[in-house]
Amino acid sequence: MKKIKERWDITQNWQYLFPFLGVALLLLTAYMIARRFLHLFELNNSIWEWPFTLGISVLLYYVMLRFFLWCFKKLSNKWIVGQRWEMIAIFIVFAVTGSLSGKLAGPLTEIIGLKRDVVSGWLYWTARILLIFPIYQVLLVCFGWLFGQFKFFWDFEKKMLKRMGLGFLIP
């Protein structure tokens, strides 16, 4: 625990939540991807189901962990945060926000009357992708606030909108 505390600049016990949550979500992601591969190779309900799933999960976990640690190192100079554990919180917010905005865009597209089976694929996917953008912007700030990173995400949001030529939307 001392190594974790020093590596991630943890000063209070509640901050341990973020490294452990990061590890748990990374394990869950690796497992879910491994299960997709399992169905892709049609190995479910066979003798190889669990050895395959566990092996691919461990491999994916290792690869993704190395990638994210590399990202932490590269982004530590660009994203100025008070403590290193905040980087984990920021990555979690980006992951949750991206996934949730993609999931919410589907039902919202159908609510506005653009059902996948009824309209052209070009119209459906264009509308869905255009809906993801505002959903993502709102969720990014909301989840940033929930994870205690509101200032970072509010500044990130302002910078992103200015770069897209939408700076007039910012109060």
- The pLDDT, as a whole number, for residue 104 is 94
- The pLDDT, as a whole number, for residue 129 is 92
Average pLDDT, the chain: 90
SS (H, E, C) 63-108: HHHHHHHHHHHHHCCCCCCCCCHHHHHHHHHHHHHHHHHHHHHHHH
C-alpha pair distances (Å), 88 with each of 34, 153, 168:
23, 14, 31
What distance in Å separates the CA atoms of residue 71 and residue 78, rounded to the nearest whole number?
A: 11
Neighbours of 127 (CB within 10 A): 17
Write the single-letter amino acid at 114. Answer: L
Read off the pLDDT of each residue in 123-146 and give the average, rounded to a whole number: 93
Q: Tell me if 7 sits within 8 A of 84, measured CB to CB.
A: yes
- The pLDDT, as a whole number, for residue 39 is 84
- The pLDDT, as a whole number, for residue 32 is 94
Percent of the chain residues topping a pLDDT of 90: 54
User: What confidence tens digit (pLDDT) does each residue in 9-61 have?
Assistant: 888 889 899 999 999 999 999 999 999 998 888 888 888 889 999 999 999 99
Residue 120, helix vs strand vs coil: coil
The pTM assigned to this predicted structure is 0.82
User: What confidence tens digit (pLDDT) does each residue in 95-110 have?
Assistant: 999 999 999 998 999 8
The domain segmentation of the chain, as residue ranges, is 1-78, 82-171
Look-up of token digits 């920021």: 90
What distance in Å separates the CA atoms of residue 2 and residue 10, rounded to the nearest whole number?
A: 10
pLDDT band at 131 (very low <50, low <70, confident <90, very high): very high
Q: What would you report as the CA-atom Rg of the chain, rounded to the nearest whole angstrom?
A: 20
